[in-house]
Amino acid sequence: MQRILVGGVAALLLAGSGLWFWQTQANQPNLIPAAPPPAAISDALPKAGPNAPAFGPAPPTPPEAPKASREEVRFNRYDRNRDELVSRLEMMGSRTKAFKALDRDGNNLLTFEEWAAATGQRFAGADGNKDQLLTRKEFAQTRPKQAAKPGCRC
């Protein structure tokens, strides 16, 4: 019984001291300065003169990079080290046969000219009516032929 009585008194003392601390803090002056009235803010801002322009000069436009052609984009996809040459390793091991067909001089380096010449030949072969334009049907002929998939994996 004595424990309960001591616990109750301790709880009342704790609650009373908390209430007293709260009230003393509420009566302290506010240390955060109040915001100035809106008229004081507008007086502090600089004013433009009567002959001042409404808008300043336009920002400079960044220089435009030249747009790469579709063939340059395809070539750059394989040219991993950006030395303007595609090596056999860069062309990927599974593309060795296609690489050999494109490498006309046989030095195991594919230049952009060799790449573009092969693509130009493929374009000319697909352009059936020789009007320098490919229709959807003609464009479909430029796609590399896919090998037949085996029927089963027995």
- pTM of the full structure: 0.30
pLDDT at 94 over 60: no
Q: Per-residue confidence at 95, pLDDT binned at 50, 70, 90?
A: low
Give the span between the Cα atoms of 35 and 20, in whole angstroms.
Answer: 30
As assigned by CATH, the class of the 70-140 domain is mainly alpha
In this structure, how many other beta carbons lie within 10 angstroms of the beta carbon of residue 115? Answer: 19
Instruction: Provide the residue ranges of all domains of the chain, joining segments of one domain with +.
Output: 70-140
3-state secondary structure of 110: strand
In this structure, how many other beta carbons lie within 10 angstroms of the beta carbon of residue 71? Answer: 15
Mean pLDDT of the chain: 78
